[in-house]
């Protein structure tokens, strides 16, 4: 009997770039077969302790994803998993995206007493 073992490889080179109210993830995957799709996971905060990731997108066919459900002044941890033939890989490398504030406080406040 011939057994075929399929091992899904992790997407490589994951990074996030922030825009006003969105975070765009991009990754590289040259090792998995054609037809592989990707599931995107996110957790609030930094990527520590390990993060409690929740799936925010599934069956993404491109090697990029834009998360438009982010909030200004918030930090998120992201991971991507390869999915093929009903099998899902482990997490890619984790990446942090810090969404900038909409409005920043003034700086260099001073007072003059007379």
19-73: pLDDT as tens digits: 557 999 999 999 999 999 999 999 999 999 889 999 999 999 999 999 999 998 9
- DSSP at 89: -
Q: 12-98: what CATH class?
A: mainly beta
Rounded to two decimals, what is the model's pTM? Answer: 0.76
Please tell me the predicted confidence (pLDDT) of residue 21: 78
Show Cβ contacts of residue 95 under 8 Å, excluding neighbours closer than 6 positions.
14, 15, 16, 25, 47, 77, 78, 79
The whole-angstrom separation of Cα 9 and Cα 99 is 29
């Amino acid at each position: 009997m011939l057994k075929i073992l399929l091992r899904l490889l992790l997407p490589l080179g994951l990074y996030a770039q922030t825009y006003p109210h969105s975070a765009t993830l991009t990754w590289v995957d040259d090792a998995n077969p054609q037809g592989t799709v990707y599931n995107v996971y996110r957790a609030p905060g930094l990527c520590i302790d390990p993060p409690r990731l929740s799936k925010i997108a599934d069956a993404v066919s491109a090697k990029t994803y834009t998360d438009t459900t982010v909030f200004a002044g918030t930090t998120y941890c992201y991971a991507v998993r390869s999915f093929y033939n009903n099998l899902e890989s482990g997490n890619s490398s984790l990446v942090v995206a810090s969404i900038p504030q909409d409005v920043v406080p003034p700086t260099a406040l001073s007072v003059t007493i007379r």
